[in-house]
């Protein structure tokens, strides 16, 4: 049985699309379709239901998929046994990172990763949207905040410290808040992943627990870049990870306020689809990301 055909079938099933599978594998769509048809012919059963709108597994396809994934993983592991040198790792990785961590931590250090693994290629998604690692074909994703994914392997890395900031112009116009009770006279730049959602307000520790204080504000954004830009423009206070704001503070473009009333540090976690055996290239990326990000965490 053709190992490449198993790999193609698993990718089509994972993405529920011949077109997207062809794009990720770098194959012509016709080759992907032919490989699955030939595999079905060999097995004497239909593995996928195909319609103009979607592709889904048949009952036999569901049974076959898990075994096919195991066979592909076993073959990759067997091949890797004879590729001891790090430079022997080859193939394509697909990774999703939050915008801030990608921009300030990971991308500046990617040259060292490629120097160690010159035959690897990386497809890097940077977004604040919560991608679906399985259906969108990611080898791994890095998440900030609480986890809601089921069926994924989680590797906790630490927590990201948050600070409170405002622009000098905003503070000249509205004054400097010293304590949570001062916030009634201030604006907050609201952040909501989905516009139309409700922002809980200002988060701080009251000595016993973290709580939220509702605040007014003239703008709600749904991306970390817009969040920082709104603060720089003097539209209100923000609470955000220190790694993206420290340079702005050093430049005098932002000022830290109320250091005693910061939000709870946010969990940082690597997630990847559950597989019995990870390929060495994915394991190399997971380990490198962990080493790169962990020094920035608390």
On whether both 191 and 275 belong to a single domain, the answer is no
Within this chain, do residues 52 and 11 fall inside the same structural domain, yes or no?
yes
Query: Domain ends where: 55, 80, 105?
Result: 80
- Which of 38, 61, 80 is the last residue in one of the domains? 80
∠ CA 263-268-271, nearest 5°, is 145
Statement to judge: residues 20 and 55 lie in one domain? yes
pLDDT the model gives residue 82:
58
Burial class (CB in 10 A: 0-12, 13-18, 19+), 270: buried
In a shared domain, residues 235 and 187: yes
Question: Which structural domain, as residue segments, surrounds residue 286?
Answer: 86-158+267-296
Whether 159 and 297 have beta carbons less than 8 Å apart is answered as yes
Residues 168 and 260 in one domain: yes
Query: pLDDT at position 84, please?
Result: 52
Whether residue 146 sits in one domain with residue 97: yes
HEC string of the chain?
CCHHHHHHHHHHHHHCCHHHHHHHHCCCHHHHHHHHHHHHHHHCCCCEEECCCCEEECHHHHHHHHHHHHHHHHHHHHHHCCCCCHHHCCEEEEEEECHHHHHHHHHHHHHHHHHHCCCEEEEEEECCCCCCCCCCCCCEEEEECCCCCCCEEEEEEEEECEEEEECHHHHHHHCCCCCHHHHHHCEECEECCCCCCCCCCEEEECCCCEEEECCECCCEECCHHHHHHHHHCCCCEEEEEHHHHHHHHHCCCCEECCCCCCCCCEEEEEEEECCCCCCHHHHHHHHHHHHHHHHHCC
CATH of the domain at 271: 3.40.190.10
Euclidean distance between CA atoms 190 and 54, whole angstroms: 38
Looking at 35, 65, 80, the residue that finishes a domain is 80
Q: Are residues 230 and 255 in the same domain?
A: yes
Q: Do both 131 and 181 map to the same domain?
A: no
Asked if residue 45 and residue 177 are part of one domain, the reply reads: no
Q: Which CATH number covers residue 74?
A: 1.10.10.10
Pair (139, 187) in one structural domain: no
For residue 83, what pLDDT is reported?
Answer: 55
Which token pair is 89? 């790792």
CA distance 198 to 190: 9
Residue 48 near residue 56 (C-beta atoms within 8 A): yes
Q: What is the mean pLDDT of each run of 10 residues along the chain (298 residues)?
A: 88 90 89 93 92 86 86 72 62 90 94 93 88 83 83 90 96 95 95 81 93 94 93 97 90 96 95 76 93 90
Residues 284 and 253 in one domain: no
Total domains in the fold of the chain = 3
Structure confidence at residue 194 (pLDDT): 78
Counted residue by residue, the chain has a size of: 298
Tokens of 213: 């204080």
Asked whether residue 48 falls in the same domain as residue 181, the answer is: no
Structure tokens, 100: 């801030």
């Amino acid at each position: 049985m053709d190992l490449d055909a198993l790999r193609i079938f698993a990718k089509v099933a994972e993405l529920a699309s011949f077109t997207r599978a062809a794009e990720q594998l770098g194959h012509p769509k016709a080759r992907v379709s032919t490989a699955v048809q030939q595999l079905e012919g060999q097995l004497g059963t239909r593995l996928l239901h195909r319609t103009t709108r979607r592709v889904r597994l048949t009952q036999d396809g569901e049974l076959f998929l898990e075994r096919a994934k195991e066979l592909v993983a076993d073959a990759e592991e067997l091949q890797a046994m004879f590729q001891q040198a790090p430079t022997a790792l080859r193939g394509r990785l697909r990774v999703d990172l939050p915008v801030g961590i990608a921009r300030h931590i990971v991308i500046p250090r990617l040259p060292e990763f490629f120097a160690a693994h010159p035959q690897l290629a990386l497809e890097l998604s940077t977004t604040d949207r919560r991608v679906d690692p399985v259906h969108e074909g990611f080898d791994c994703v890095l998440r900030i905040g609480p986890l809601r994914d089921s069926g994924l392997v989680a590797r906790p890395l630490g927590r990201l410290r948050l600070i409170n900031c405002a622009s000098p112009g905003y503070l000249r116009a509205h004054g400097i808040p010293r304590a949570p009770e001062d916030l009634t006279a201030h604006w907050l730049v609201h952040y909501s992943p989905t516009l139309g959602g409700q922002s809980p307000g200002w988060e701080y520790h009251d000595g016993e627990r973290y709580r939220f204080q509702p605040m007014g504000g003239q703008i709600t954004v749904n991306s970390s870049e817009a969040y920082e830009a709104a603060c720089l423009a003097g539209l209100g206070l923000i609470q955000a990870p220190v790694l993206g704001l420290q340079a702005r503070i050093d430049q005098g473009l932002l000022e830290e306020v109320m250091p005693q009333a910061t939000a709870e540090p946010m969990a940082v976690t690597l997630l990847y689809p559950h597989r019995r055996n990870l390929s060495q290239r994915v394991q190399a990326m997971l380990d490198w990301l962990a080493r790169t990000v962990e020094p920035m965490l608390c």
